[in-house]
Structures are given as C-alpha cells and as structure tokens.
Structure 1
Amino acid sequence: MKTHGFHHVAIICSDYQRSKRFYVEVLGFPVIQETYRSARNSYKLDLQVGEGDAIELFSFPNPPPRPSTPEACGLRHLAFKVADLDASVAALQAKGVDVEAIRLDELTGKRFTFFKDPDGLPLEMYEI
C-alpha cells in the first residue's frame, strides 16, 4: 500500500457552535463545506487546514467523553505546522486561548507547544 498523506482528520465535538467558532474564528481555518444531516441530527463541517489537509468537525447527540488527556489509548493529539511559533502563541493568547510553555523537541531541536480545543482535545503547534 502506498499512501500520499492524510486526507482528513475527524473530530467529534460536544458543542458544535462553540467548536465551530474555535476552529474557524480562533484558529482561522476556512470552511470548505457545512452540512446538516437530519437523519443523524448531526452537523459535518469541513475545514481547510493546509494545502490539501482538512478537519471534519462532527456533532452527534450525546457523544461519550474522552477517557483522559492525553494518554488515552487511540489518537493522542493533532499537531499543526507553524512557521513562527512565538507569533502563533501570541495570536492564540490574544483570543483567550491558554497555551502551555514552549518546549524544545530533544530529538529534532524544533520548538513546540500545546493548547486545547473546547472539548479538551490536545492540539500542538510545531515550528517548522
């Protein structure tokens, strides 16, 4: 099997409007398409993250909570590439987002930090 990268990452949120505001207004991801699926009482919001990268943000009635953060079995976190980590941190903090202290990846020498989405999903910014 040969892959060509990720097509999308899917996230289920507990409060669709709150998460939509966070991903669109706070993180600045453009909306590709928004769909309401009445048979499932569910929204699906397609967001553009990078060149060809996307997040699918879903709402479902009464989704189960995440077991723990970030050491639950399964997806640990999402990491976004940023060119200027200091500017990215400042932009998030100006919008009221708590951001952890910047750390240094001992394997690559690159800087990174973490913050959380409205449901506590760990998100990382990794300086390229």
Structure 2
Amino acid sequence: MQITAPHHMALLTANFDKLRTFYVEVLGFPVIGAYSDRRIIFIGVGSIAIELIERAGVSNDKSGGWGHFAFEVEDVDASYKALAELGVPFHVLPNDFPEGGPVSRIAFFRDPDGNELQLVQPLGPGRYPTVST
C-alpha cells in the first residue's frame, strides 16, 4: 500500500448550520463538494479538504486524541486582525514559535463547536522544522 496524499479530515457536528456559516462565511472556505441527500459538505483549499457532517447528539467533549487543525496563511497578524474584527475570539494571540528561534508565527482560536484551530505562517526556508538526524 502507498498513501499518495491526505484527502480530508471530518468534523462531526450537531450544529451543522453554525459550523457551515463559520467555515464558509467567516473563514472563507469554498464548498467543493456536497451530497444532495444528506447534510454533508466538503470545504477546502489546497490539497486537503474538511468534511462537515451533521450528526445529532455528537458530543463537544474534546478530551480525546484530537489536538488542533492548522491553516497556513501568508500573514498571521493580518489574519488575526481580520478574524478578530468579525468577532472570532483568540485564546493564543499571534506569537513566534518556538521562542528564541522561531520556525513559524502562530495564533489559536476555536470554531463554534470548540474545535481548536491554528493559524500558522512559516518563517524559515521550509514549511516545517528541520529534521535533525
């Protein structure tokens, strides 16, 4: 077996309309796919999509292994300002990470279901930290 690329990440929600509005209208993701017979849409840019799935009774408990989903942006500070003006609250303000030798500039916020989202702006020559051997 050979995995060729990530395809999508699914978010289950009991608040489909609220999440759809947040991702499509607030964050600006285009709808790239949808089912006509159920409340499931695919949104995305680049090589990976987010699948929003309506699921009644799904818990917003975030105690499992899920951490966060990161969105690469050209300018974290400008993106932070634009989202804050739309009323999106941030719990980690824009900052360089790691301190003392930044690889990226980051900020964290949550969607209406409480899923943690990150804005990331690579600062170095690559998109990820250098692998040491």
Please indicate, yes or no, whether the TM-score normalized by the shorter chain is above 0.5: yes
Query: Is 1:74 the counterpart of 2:65 in the alignment?
Result: yes
Structure 1: 5+ residue stretches without partners: none
| Counterpart position of 2:126 | none
2: distance between equivalents of 1:74 and 1:102?
25
Query: What's the TM-score, normalizing by structure 2?
Result: 0.80
TM (norm. structure 1) is 0.83
SS in 2 for 1:123: strand
Deviations 1:74-112 (A, max 9, x none): 221101111111111011111110123112211643110
In structure 2, stretches of 5+ residues that fail to align are 123-133
Counterpart of 2:47 in structure 1: which amino acid? Answer: G
Count of equivalent residues: 119
Q: Which has the larger radius of gyration?
A: 2
Q: Counterparts in 2 of 1:23-102, with a 5 A limit?
A: 23-37=23-37, 42-48=38-44, 50-66=45-61, 68=62, 72-99=63-90, 100-102=92-94
1:7-18 matches, within 5 Å, as 7-18=7-18
Give the aligned CA root-mean-square deviation in angstroms. 1.7
